[in-house]
């Protein structure tokens, strides 16, 4: 036995230093405008991952950590030792040389396949053409103004979110909506068919080498949920709670459609946002276009920063510094006179940029060593291209969601070890802070602070927010069953030997099993479902975290969304510890009890 606790710290430091390469490399491969730089970043990420794999299979290092006498360690160090040894074993350090070599080459191939999968999605922007006369009917005036016809009188609508979302929601031109939906859901097809198959096959092979029956069994082992069977049970439990509501909502949409198409027997998935919008307008006297002028991008950003500042006792101070693109805004995060982190906001679409919304790390914070730096990468309307740059309310909630991740990363970035910094908690807990923060985007008092009408400057009326909330109630069942479809797809693709099984057929079957809307012919959503790489088998984490987020929110519901004590308790019990305790223990500390499904089920039943 050795008693050198410094070994733990040195190993933590080594991982931290490698992250100084891997984190920016991963970010830059997704956002850097220049092709050559993105390619270089991908190579750097590969090298960093290769090094991590090599270290994780180093028997000498493993033995050095394994022989540290735990009796000489404090509780946090003991936890670190247990976690590090578990990671070594899960990496395959105790396998023979030949097996470790196979593991190494599979992991290296998987890094490259994952990059290829993401790149094919990122670089495949498709578009449809509509003519001026009827093509934009139904769309908001700001959208129409920003989409002028070219010299041939043709208007191009792309699969990027600022085009795709409003068009699917508002365009009266049904055929054009269907065409855009099909384009959106064939992105990266057929290129990603073979990439996805290789990802499944190689992950299955890797799991087998490591002694697991499937990748799903392997990847769930270190999560809150602990095993793949529990994921399947969880999916069924939520399905039981949601499916009747989803069926009722679907029938309402169908009945609504039959008023204008009496022969209709189904509602297609591409019709659902539009019909839902119209039905909500009628049922709740609510038109989401009436809300849109209240959400001007710049004001939403400023309002969100002010809100987070108030809740978490911090200030955001703009900084001028070189970044990868001129539109990126940088803020130091200060508490009093101390700087505690830095955030970057890369918020608008451009060519070859990541297409979804996510928080990327630039650096994990470690107490007295380095400050946390995080980056929001989103695709909201660009104020440089569209004035006013209006957002739909669902984009506002996306902004809040990603900001929730960012605050977890920054406020959790003062841990003693990099290993436990910020969002380095169990992965299936990671979405809880982001989903919780979405709740603030639904509060009339919060919204009134920054949701000021683009033309009149008037604050959003509480009555309009009440309508927005009432309308949101409709569609919760359909939302949940769609999430279940994704969760089941992600689980099932990784739950068995993929050789000889038809991925596309399975995707169709699972849509038909969980989702009310039938699978749309000629689409291949699995090819552009980026989470099938990044999350592999564990897309269930979104619903799992949502169950927890709804429970965490009960405390704010009771005490008030702007209650200082509640916000401080949340920060101290949930965000600041990062992964220093098990997520279940953090939740317990905050709620004063174990989490339950009650709040989620009540939300779904409301
Ligand atoms: Zn998230």
| pLDDT tens-digit readout, 37-85 | 999 999 999 999 999 999 999 999 999 999 999 999 999 999 999 999 9
- If asked whether residues 71 and 151 sit together in one domain, one would say no
Give the confidence band of 133 by pLDDT, cuts at 50, 70, 90: low
Q: What is the pLDDT of residue 79?
A: 97
| pLDDT tens-digit readout, 487-513 | 999 999 999 999 988 999 999 999 999
Domain final residue, candidates 143, 166, 184: 184
Q: H helices of 313-392, where?
A: none
Q: Which residue has the higher pLDDT, 216 or 2?
A: 216
Q: What residues does the ion ligand 1 have nearby, CB within 5 Å? A: 431, 434
Q: How far is the CA of 434 from the centre of ligand 1 (A)?
A: 6
Q: How far is the CA of 571 from the centre of ligand 1 (A)?
A: 18
Q: How far is the CA of 417 from the centre of ligand 1 (A)?
A: 24
Question: How many structural domains compose the chain?
Answer: 3
Residue 170 lies in a domain: yes
Q: How far is the CA of 2 from the centre of ligand 1 (A)?
A: 41
Q: How far is the CA of 3 from the centre of ligand 1 (A)?
A: 40
Q: How far is the CA of 403 from the centre of ligand 1 (A)?
A: 9
| pLDDT tens-digit readout, 238-274 | 999 999 999 999 999 999 999 999 999 999 999 999 9
Residue 86 lies in a domain: yes
3-state secondary structure (DSSP) of residue 421: coil
Whether residue 347 contacts residue 598, with contact meaning beta carbons closer than 8 Å, is answered with no
Domain final residue, candidates 459, 484, 512: 459
CA–CA separation, 532 and 544 (whole Å): 17
Q: Which domain holds residue 327?
A: 294-459
- If asked whether residues 145 and 31 sit together in one domain, one would say no
- If asked whether residues 386 and 435 sit together in one domain, one would say yes
Q: How far is the CA of 401 from the centre of ligand 1 (A)?
A: 6
Q: How far is the CA of 397 from the centre of ligand 1 (A)?
A: 11
- Residue 423 is part of a domain; what is its CATH number? 3.40.390.10
Residue 180 lies in a domain: yes
Helix axes 228-260, 598-605, angle to 10 degrees: 10
Q: What is the largest CA-CA distance in the chain?
A: 80
- If asked whether residues 167 and 31 sit together in one domain, one would say no
Tokens 């540290």: give the residue.
68
Consecutive H or E run containing 332 = strand 329-335
Q: Which residue has the higher pLDDT, 337 or 387?
A: 337
| pLDDT tens-digit readout, 522-551 | 999 999 999 999 999 999 999 999 999 999
Q: How far is the CA of 602 from the centre of ligand 1 (A)?
A: 22
- If asked whether residues 338 and 426 sit together in one domain, one would say yes
pTM of the prediction?
A: 0.94
Q: What is the pLDDT of residue 60?
A: 96
Bridging pattern class, strands 373-377 and 338-346? parallel
Whether residue 343 contacts residue 376, with contact meaning beta carbons closer than 8 Å, is answered with yes
Give the confidence band of 327 by pLDDT, cuts at 50, 70, 90: very high
Whether residue 377 contacts residue 357, with contact meaning beta carbons closer than 8 Å, is answered with yes
Q: How far is the CA of 53 from the centre of ligand 1 (A)?
A: 26
Residue 150 lies in a domain: yes
- If asked whether residues 332 and 389 sit together in one domain, one would say yes
Q: How far is the CA of 433 from the centre of ligand 1 (A)?
A: 9
Residue 237 lies in a domain: no
Residue 8 lies in a domain: yes
- If asked whether residues 427 and 312 sit together in one domain, one would say yes
| pLDDT above 70 coverage of the chain, percent | 99
Q: How far is the CA of 534 from the centre of ligand 1 (A)?
A: 12
Domain final residue, candidates 91, 115, 135: 91
Q: What is the pLDDT of residue 138?
A: 95
Segment 393-403 shows an average pLDDT of 96
Tokens 């809150």: give the residue.
224
């Amino acid at each position: 036995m050795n008693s050198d606790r410094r070994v733990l710290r040195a190993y933590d430091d080594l991982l931290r230093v490698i992250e100084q390469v891997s984190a920016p490399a991963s970010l830059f491969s997704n956002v850097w405008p220049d092709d050559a730089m993105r390619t270089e970043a991908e190579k750097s990420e590969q090298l960093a991952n290769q090094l991590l794999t090599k270290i994780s299979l180093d028997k000498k290092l493993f033995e050095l950590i394994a022989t540290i006498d735990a009796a000489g360690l404090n509780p946090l160090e003991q936890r670190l030792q247990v976690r590090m040894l578990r990671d070594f074993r899960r990496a395959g350090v105790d396998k023979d040389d030949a097996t470790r070599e196979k593991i190494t080459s599979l992991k290296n191939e998987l890094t490259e396949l994952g990059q290829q999968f993401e790149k094919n999605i990122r670089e495949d922007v498709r578009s449809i053409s509509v003519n001026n006369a009827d093509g934009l009917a139904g769309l908001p005036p700001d959208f129409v103004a920003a989409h002028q016809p070219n010299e041939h009188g043709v208007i191009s609508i792309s699969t990027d979110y600022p085009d795709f979302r409003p068009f699917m929601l508002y365009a009266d031109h049904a055929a054009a909506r269907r065409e855009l939906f099909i384009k959106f859901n064939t992105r990266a097809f057929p290129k990603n068919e073979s990439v996805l198959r290789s990802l499944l096959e190689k992950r299955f092979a890797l799991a087998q080498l490591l002694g697991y029956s499937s990748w799903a069994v392997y990847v769930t082992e270190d999560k809150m949920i602990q095993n793949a069977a529990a994921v399947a049970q969880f999916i069924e439990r939520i399905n039981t709670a949601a499916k009747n509501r989803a069926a009722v909502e679907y029938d309402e949409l169908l009945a609504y459609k039959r008023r204008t198409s009496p022969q209709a027997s189904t509602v297609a998935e591409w019709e659902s946002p539009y019909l839902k919008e119209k039905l909500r307008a009628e049922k709740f006297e609510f038109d989401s276009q009436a809300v849109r002028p209240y959400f001007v991008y710049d004001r939403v950003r400023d309002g969100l920063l002010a809100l987070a500042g108030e809740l978490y006792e911090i200030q955001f101070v703009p900084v001028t510094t070189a970044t990868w693109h001129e539109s990126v805004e940088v803020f130091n995060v200060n508490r009093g006179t101390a700087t505690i982190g830095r955030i970057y906001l890369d918020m608008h679409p451009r060519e070859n940029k990541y297409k979804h919304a996510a928080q990327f790390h630039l650096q994990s914070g470690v107490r007295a060593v380095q400050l946390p730096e995080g980056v929001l990468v989103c695709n909201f309307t660009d104020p440089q291209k569209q004035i006013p740059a209006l957002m739909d309310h669902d984009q506002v909630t996306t902004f809040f969601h990603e900001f929730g991740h960012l605050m977890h990363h920054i406020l959790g970035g003062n841990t003693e070890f990099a290993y436990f910094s910020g969002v380095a908690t169990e992965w299936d807990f990671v979405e809880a802070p982001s989903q919780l923060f979405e709740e603030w985007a639904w509060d009339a008092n919060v919204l009134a602070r920054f949701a000021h009408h683009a033309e009149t400057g008037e604050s959003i009326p509480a009555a309009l927010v009440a309508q927005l909330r009432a309308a949101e109630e409709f569609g919760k069942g359909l939302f949940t069953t769609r999430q279940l479809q994704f969760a089941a797809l992600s689980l099932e693709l990784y739950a068995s030997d993929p050789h000889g099984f038809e991925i596309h057929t399975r995707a169709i079957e699972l849509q038909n099993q969980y989702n009310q809307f039938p699978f749309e012919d000629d689409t291949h959503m699995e090819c552009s479902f980026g989470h099938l790489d990044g999350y592999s088998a564990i897309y269930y984490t979104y619903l799992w975290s949502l169950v927890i987020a709804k429970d965490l929110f009960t405390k704010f519901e009771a005490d008030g969304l702007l209650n200082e004590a509640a916000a401080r308790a949340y920060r101290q019990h949930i965000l600041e510890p990062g992964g220093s305790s098990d997520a279940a223990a953090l939740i317990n500390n905050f709620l004063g009890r174990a989490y339950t499904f009650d709040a989620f089920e009540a939300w779904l039943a409301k």
